[in-house]
């Protein structure tokens, strides 16, 4: 390792404790738009394919627009959840899910309670940010990859910048099921501009965020040869 240019304790803590915050978004405390702009200024330091910077970002502060987008988000999520059970008509039992995903069910339940809280409250979050990119998704695999991929690095920079200033967010995509309706709310030319995600932004309550439990590195990181036995088994 070279000589660290940064205080690694601080940077590693920032990188390992920037979480998806839903229940701890402070819905009462206003968010200053200057701070959001400052964080977006840092976000815009991120890379884009060919340095094309075809991104556009909309900060949504207007109450009526937030309300409408929050409603669309909630409806999309509920439709997705209803659709998820449709498969073969049979609901999956928790035990099946545990075997299929080899996951900690209590953690899954906590996650769903948190997701549900955001579904109920997205419309009340003080500021929403919608990152967009010029163009739609049609095209070659490299084009498709660079469309989303030219915005997500900046999205993550934005989340890191928020966290370092006592604010928080959660990357969400559910509203894209009805992207065109949100485009109409915000005056986005849908045929030419792709929305990438929806970011609720608020101060957070409480002071601590922990490191996440993730799959062990050896299950997901390989050297020189892909381990195909990790595909299709439990937790694929």
Ligand X SMILES: Cc1cc2nc3c(=O)[nH]c(=O)nc-3n(C[C@H](O)[C@H](O)[C@H](O)COP(=O)(O)O)c2cc1C
Per-residue mark of binding to ligand X, 119-158 (x: CB under 6 A): ----------------------------------------
CB of 178 to ligand X, least distance (A): 13
| CB nearer to ligand X: pick between 36 and 115 | 115
- Angstrom distance (rounded) from CA 161 to CA 111: 24
Residue 12, CA distances (Å) to 4, 15, 51, 143, 149 in order: 12, 5, 27, 32, 23
* Minimum CB–partner distance for residue 141 and ligand X (Å): 18
Per CB under 6 A, which region of 7-15, 55-63, 89-97, 169-177 contacts ligand X?
169-177
Residue 22 class from Cβ within 10 Å (0-12 exposed, 13-18 middle, 19+ buried)? buried
Q: Which of 203, 200, 205, 204 is nearest to 60 (CA)?
A: 200
Residue 57: half-sphere exposure toward Cβ, Cα within 13 Å:
19
Does residue 172 interact with ligand X by CB under 6 A? Answer: yes
Counting contacts by CB under 6 A, is residue 212 touching ligand X?
A: yes
Residue 33 vs 80, nearer CB to ligand X: 80
Give the separation between CA 77 and CA 111, rounded to whole angstroms.
Answer: 14
Nearest approach in angstroms of CB 2 to ligand X is: 28
User: Shortest gap between Cβ of 67 and ligand X (angstroms)?
Assistant: 18
Residues 17-56 that bind ligand X (CB under 6 A): 19-20, 22
Distance CA 42, CA 49 (A): 18
Based on the shown chain and the rule CB under 6 A, indicate whether residue 171 belongs to the binding site for ligand X.
Answer: yes
C-beta of residue 178 within 8 angstroms of C-beta of residue 75? yes
Residue 170 interacts with ligand X (CB under 6 A): yes or no: yes
Question: Residues in the site for ligand X, rule: CB under 6 A?
Answer: 19-20, 22, 111, 115, 118, 170-174, 212
């Amino acid at each position: 390792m070279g000589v660290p240019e940064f205080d690694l304790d601080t940077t590693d803590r920032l990188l390992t404790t920037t979480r998806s915050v839903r229940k701890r978004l402070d819905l009462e405390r206003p968010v200053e738009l200057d701070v959001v702009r400052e964080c977006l200024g840092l976000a815009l330091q991120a890379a884009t394919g060919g340095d094309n910077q075809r991104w556009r970002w909309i900060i949504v502060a207007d109450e009526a627009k937030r309300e409408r987008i929050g409603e669309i988000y909630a409806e999309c999520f509920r439709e997705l959840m209803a659709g998820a059970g449709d498969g073969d008509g049979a609901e999956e039992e928790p035990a099946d899910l545990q075997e299929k995903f080899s996951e900690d069910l209590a953690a899954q339940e906590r996650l769903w309670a948190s997701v549900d809280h955001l579904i109920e409250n997205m419309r009340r979050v003080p500021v929403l940010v919608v990152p967009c990119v010029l163009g739609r998704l049609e095209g070659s695999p490299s084009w498709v990859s660079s469309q989303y991929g030219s915005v997500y690095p900046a999205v993550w920079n934005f989340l890191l910048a928020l966290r370092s200033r006592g604010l928080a967010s959660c990357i969400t995509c559910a509203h894209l099921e009805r992207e065109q309706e949100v485009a109409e709310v915000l005056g986005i030319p849908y045929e030419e501009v792709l929305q990438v995600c929806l970011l609720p932004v608020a101060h957070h309550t409480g002071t601590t965020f922990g490191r996440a439990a993730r799959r062990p590195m050896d299950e997901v990181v390989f050297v020189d040869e892909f381990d195909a036995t990790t595909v299709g088994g439990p937790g694929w």
